[in-house]
């Protein structure tokens, strides 16, 4: 059987198995399904069973998956993420994290490698945390709003840093290009938010249960346009995906509430039922386990980096904890803030391709990111036993 045929068979089976495994252990611990997706990718990848390897088809689908992940993160951005007390504290925390992270990076890999390490240590996996917050009913609570603001800073900030420092241009040129994209994005957001878009909403509603599925097609079109624009400008495509999510939210915000829920469910089905799991499985496949096996002492660095995530990203994230939060809730806020993986995977991949990080260094960082996704949300949930299920349609609490 050809490698492509094997991939077409094995990857869907891995995606199918991941939630079953998550459910099977749920009676003991609420392990995020992404952990199993990553783990299955590692097991099926070149380092162990060798059933699946890197391929162009797999890589393209993975790119679509990570773009949809950041698109959904953009749709979840509230006013609290960009203005007010919570936003100010979230961005202050991120600035502290990126400064300390780069300083720590210089001790390991001076130069551009330090920037990549700093970006990795200053990231927050908002796209990974959103399903966890939804499932726990925390998304619309003050705690969920705070984590959302921290996650926005921890994803949007690193994306900007990647575009400025890792795009192959001088800092000045990269800044001008980024500013140009920012102006285009602002114009698109203003245009999307200035009218009610009743015709769009009516067309979306009329095709919700037909083969036209105009809402999903519109989402993919907006995503494609914004990603294409960033690629043409030579900046990170995740910035375009994130912006596309914000634009879509503005376009659909005045639609009937039931329509919004239906559209959200359809987009989630495409994203979390198909493309996003492929991204995480592919991340596991690309995980350079062999480099760690070749250098066993490198395994000892994974818990060190995990602690660094807590100190460098987690502690500053506590600044944005809800006003009046107790000690346990502040610690839980920091744990969520220190949960990082997608940006780590993206940044380290760039580092390896540009020969400023070794495969072992990248594997250590990604390995710590995987452990953060496994351990930190579990610990945060244990610290907040009083959290209860809430109606996802409940009004979002703004601070």
- Whether 41 contacts 285, CB under 8 Å: yes
Residues in the chain: 399
Q: What is the mean pLDDT of residues 172-201?
A: 83
**Residue 4 clears pLDDT 70, i.e. is over it:** no
Percent of the chain with pLDDT over 90: 23
Distance, in Å, from the CA atom of 260 to the CA atom of 264, rounded to the nearest integer, reads 6
Distance, in Å, from the CA atom of 167 to the CA atom of 234, rounded to the nearest integer, reads 7
Backbone torsions φ then ψ of 101, nearest 5 degrees: -65, -45
- Spell out the long-range contacts of 2-10 with Cβ–Cβ below 8 A and sequence spacing 24 or more: 3/53, 3/55, 4/55, 4/57, 6/51, 6/52, 7/52, 7/53, 7/55, 7/57, 7/58, 8/57, 10/44, 10/51, 10/52
**Residue 198 clears pLDDT 50, i.e. is over it:** yes
* DSSP labels, 291-336: HHHHSGGGGGHHHHHHHHHIIIIIHHHGGGSPTT--HHHHHHHHHH
Q: Among 25-29, 51-55, 80-84, 158-162, whose mean pLDDT is lowest?
A: 80-84
Nearest CA to 37 out of 339, 360, 285, 306 is that of 285
Give tens-digit pLDDT for 129-175.
877 777 777 777 888 888 888 988 888 888 888 877 776 666 777 78
Q: pLDDT-based confidence at 386, cuts 50/70/90?
A: low
Cα–Cα separations (whole angstroms), residue 374 to 108, 288, 367: 25, 19, 11
Please report, for the chain, how many H helices and E strands are present, in that order: 19, 0
- Whether 215 contacts 207, CB under 8 Å: yes
- In sequence order, which residues have a C-beta less than 8 Å from that of residue 44 and are 6 or more positions away? 10, 14, 51, 52, 281, 284, 285
In the block, residue with structure tokens 């904890």: 321
**Residue 387 clears pLDDT 60, i.e. is over it:** no
In the block, residue with structure tokens 């995977």: 345
**Residue 390 clears pLDDT 50, i.e. is over it:** no
Quote the pTM value.
0.81
- Angle formed by the axes of helices 142-165 and 327-337, nearest 10°: 30
The pLDDT mean for the chain works out to 84
Q: What is the mean pLDDT of residues 53-71?
A: 86
**Residue 255 clears pLDDT 60, i.e. is over it:** yes
């Amino acid at each position: 059987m050809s490698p492509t045929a094997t991939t077409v068979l094995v990857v869907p089976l891995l995606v199918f198995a991941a939630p079953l495994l998550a459910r099977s252990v749920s009676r003991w611990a609420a392990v995020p399904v992404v952990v199993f997706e990553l783990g299955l990718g590692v097991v099926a990848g070149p380092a162990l069973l060798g059933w699946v390897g890197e391929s162009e088809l797999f890589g393209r689908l993975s790119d679509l998956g990570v773009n949809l992940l950041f698109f959904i993160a953009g749709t979840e951005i509230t006013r609290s993420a960009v203005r007010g007390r919570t936003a100010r504290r979230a961005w202050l925390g991120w600035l502290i994290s990126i400064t300390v992270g780069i300083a720590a990076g210089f001790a390991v890999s001076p130069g551009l490698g330090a920037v990549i390490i700093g970006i990795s240590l200053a990231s927050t996996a908002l796209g990974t945390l959103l399903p966890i917050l939804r499932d726990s009913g925390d998304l619309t609570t003050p705690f969920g709003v705070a984590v959302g603001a921290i996650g926005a800073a921890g994803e949007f900030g690193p994306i900007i840093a990647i575009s400025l420092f890792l795009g192959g241009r001088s800092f000045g040129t990269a800044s001008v290009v980024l500013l140009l994209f920012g102006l285009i994005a602002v114009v698109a957001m203003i245009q999307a938010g200035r009218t009610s878009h009743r015709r769009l909403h009516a067309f979306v509603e009329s095709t919700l249960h037909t083969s036209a599925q105009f809402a999903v097609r519109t989402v993919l079109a907006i995503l494609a346009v914004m990603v294409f624009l960033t690629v043409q400008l030579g900046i990170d495509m995740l910035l375009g995906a994130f912006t596309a999510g914000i634009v879509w939210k503005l376009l659909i915000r005045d639609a009937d509430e039931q329509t919004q829920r239906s559209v959200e469910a359809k987009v989630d089905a495409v994203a979390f039922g198909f493309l996003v799991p492929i991204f995480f499985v592919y991340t596991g496949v690309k995980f350079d386990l062999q480099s760690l096996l070749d250098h066993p002492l490198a395994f000892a660095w994974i818990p060190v980096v995990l602690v660094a995530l807590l100190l460098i990203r987690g502690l500053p994230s506590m600044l944005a904890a809800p006003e009046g939060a107790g000690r346990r809730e502040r610690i839980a806020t920091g744990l969520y803030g220190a949960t990082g993986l997608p940006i780590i995977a993206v940044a380290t991949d760039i580092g390896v391709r540009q020969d400023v990080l070794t495969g072992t260094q990248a594997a250590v960082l990604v390995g710590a990111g995987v452990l953060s996704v496994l351990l930190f949300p579990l610990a945060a949930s244990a610290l907040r036993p009083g959290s209860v299920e809430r109606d996802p349609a409940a009004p979002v609490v703004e601070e």
